[in-house]
Chains A and B, each alone.
Chain A
Amino acid sequence: MLYRTAGQFKTTYRADQALFPVRQDAFLLGVILVFAWVIFPMTASEFTFQTLLIPILIYSLAAMGLNILTGYAGQLSLGTAAFMGVGAYACYKLIEVMDPILAILVSGVFSAGIGVIFGIPSLRIKGFYLAIATLAAQFFLVWLFEKWAWLYNYNASGAIQVPNLDTFGVFVTGPQATSMTQYYVILAIVTVMTMLCINLTRGTLGRTWKATRDMDIAAELIGINLMRSKLTAFAISSYIVGVAGALFVFMWRGAAEPNLFDIPLSFQILFIAIIGGLGSILGNYLGAILIVGLPVVLNTVPGLIGLEIKSATVEHINVMIVGALIVFFLIIEPHGLARLWALIREKLIIWPFPH
């Protein structure tokens, strides 16, 4: 009904290969973009900005970076948080010399470099063994953030604090910046990155990644340079993750201590990518909404219906509900929420005549 494809004829290969072969998809994306760019910012309260919109976007971006590496190129990584940390600390040093938004974009270059260095072992080791090698990056980098005082400007507390910085006279970071400004900066970066990722994964590079993921020996036999394929995946993935890390600290948290980038954050992002769907761009958003957004919404439910439950109890129930939902979604669709959506869409297209 909603997804009637009748009348949408494709007469060229180009049309058949288009990003949106079904017109309704493009329409749906348009609606989502209108919501993200116009309706949400106009209606959102400070609370919604700070606890839903901004974190969901940032976590989606980080998961998207990881997804390039793990979902598309098949290299399992447990060091996402550490690469986010590289982005954040690089940004902290860069803001001294350049515009904050430029610094955020450039900081990704540093984490890309570090990512490539830690990606080199991937040429020799695979699967779980590579996961352990990236785990080494995780431990080493967090240790470095703690011990290398230059990174946090020899601050006594060892934490980095985001100063008030402006671009063209408008505060974009620090407590003086409004949530609306920050939201738009993040949204712009995330939108551009998403477009970039969609195109990358559909192009030559994406295909070499997928070939590497599916069977590296076969890929090598058909002439794919595995080293290039794996290292570009590490570089691009780490770049995106690094930018997400810089946004995470500069546009949202406002302060960070080294242990923020410890392994729980890595796992959280990995969960978002897995539950959202490995090898999918849309999945990162769905995963972030489930993992980051849902607990916040659940927390407000008892208050909304006027139920007097102790805050600690709510927290306990929340953990249980989110855990149960994760198990539930993984049982009904092990390939993630993105696949679930794909199935629903498929059903809608052929509805009401399944065969």
Chain B
Amino acid sequence: MKHFTKLAAAAVVALTGAAAYADGHESLYVPNLSYRTGPFASTGIPLMNGQLDYFEMLNARDGGIGGVMIDFEECETGYSTEKGVECYERTKNEAIVTQPWSTGITLQVLPQTNVDEIPILAPGYGFSPMADGRTFQWAFNVPGGYWDAADMIVQYLGSEESLEGKKIAFLHLDHPYGKEPLPLLEALAAANGFELLPIPVGLNEMQNQSSQWLQIRRERPDYVVMWGWGAMNAGAITEAVKTRYPMDQFIGVWWSGQDADLRLVGEDGAGYKAISWSYPNQDAPIQAELKTHVVDTGKTLSNPEEMSGVFYQRGLVMSMILAEAIAGAQEEYGTAMIDASQLRWGLENLDITEARLEELGMQGMVPPFSTSCANHTGHAGGWVIEWDGEQFNKASDLLLPRVDEYRELLAASAADYAEQNAPWAVNDDCNAES
């Protein structure tokens, strides 16, 4: 009992101390709807750690951004939509941005953010038509959407040999996320003359894909394109190795390129490729900065193996994009304590150039891109990365999505969405060409 009383007293002292600290400092509240628990935790943790560490580093090195600390707080969702909505409601009053993470949560909060007027930042995921900034004035999926990814994959495959008459299997999660690129892939199949074979993987078949791979063996597609997430990636890769599917004909989206999944098969996975808008450049100066300010001070939750991986490094890039938007907004409005609508300006006027990346010490980690009020994606493009048995390496030059080819499709889908959700507030001040 005595022990307990002491503990309780210590806790109270610590609490009052913490509260006093929090009151005395102004900070920008940047919540992240994280998922470190649940079935997708293995993919979530490295991304969350990367995002968190970047802001930890800014707070430690520069004292935040523009003189105010960044209160980067996680709200755990476990990838469940229900919890996600709870987190959104919990954080939205003070938040200047919301980062919903799962496609389910994104779908759910997307219409809500348009009413609540909070920018929604979904780097590399979410709904492709969010690129249309006039319709989705509060939503951003920088630096690339799923349709960009689908187009780049087809471009890459087409650059090796003509796709005329080829058969491409599209192994995808049977979920809004996996179905997202289908309309574009169908259009591309018609344009390039290849046959598209969609193979859905149900949520409860993720770990055991034997029937899907049996179908792949029977159909003998020339390529397998994968839109997988969480346990599905590891399931598909091990199954591909088991059925001896040629790895160099197997290519995934950026969420299917995680080191941990490939490490399971090691050498056997050599040749597996994924498209990626980020690259873990180990020589970039940021790595040393992170080591000094985050790793050596014991602030990180990560470990060296994870930190060298694609997903952790992608988390860094995501936070960098957000930090740049915050800094941009602070400069534009002349105040450090920006609000949600000011941050929206920042996200709409991002200009990540090669020179800026070099200043940030992040050269080669993300292609340069810029956004505008009409373009909320940036369409940065990406590289094909290839697993060599130990790590992912760049296997192509920078690929750029041919956005002009599907701009109409984007606009049509966006208009469709706005119509279904009428009355939907659009940004009329923004003209198409800007």
Contact = CB atoms under 8 A, between A and B. Distances in A.
Interface of A: 46-47, 50-51, 55, 146, 156-159, 161, 163-164, 174-176, 253-255, 257, 259-260, 262, 296, 299-300, 305-308, 310-312, 314-316
Contact of A163 (B18, B86, B202, B422): B422
A157 B203 contact: no
A257 B108 CA distance: 10
19 contacts: A50-B85, A146-B174, A146-B202, A156-B180, A157-B176, A159-B176, A163-B422, A253-B82, A253-B108, A257-B176, A259-B203, A260-B81, A262-B203, A296-B86, A299-B86, A306-B22, A311-B36, A312-B74, A314-B76
Interface residues of B, number: 44
Nearest to A296: B86
A316 B37 contact: yes
B74 A175 contact: no
B220 interface: no
Contact of A176 (B36, B81, B175, B423): B423
A341 to B, nearest CB: 27
Closest 8 CB pairs between A and B? Answer: A312-B36, A157-B176, A175-B111, A311-B76, A315-B76, A311-B74, A47-B89, A50-B89
Contacts of B34: 311-312
B432 interface: no
Chain B interface secondary structure, helix, strand, loop or mixed?
A: helix
Contacts of B89: 46-47, 50-51
Nearest to A308: B18
A257 B104 contact: yes
B70 to A, nearest CB: 16
Given A158-B176, A315-B76, A164 B203 contact: no
Given A50-B89, A161-B111, A254-B108, A259 B175 contact: yes
B207 to A, nearest CB: 15
A161 B107 contact: yes
A76 B410 CA distance: 48
A305 B18 CA distance: 11
Nearest to A46: B89
B421 A164 contact: yes
A255 B115 contact: no
A157 B421 contact: no
A47 B90 contact: yes
Given A47-B89, A157-B127, A161-B111, 14 more contacts: A46-B89, A50-B85, A51-B89, A51-B90, A55-B82, A159-B107, A255-B108, A299-B90, A306-B15, A306-B18, A307-B15, A311-B75, A315-B36, A315-B37
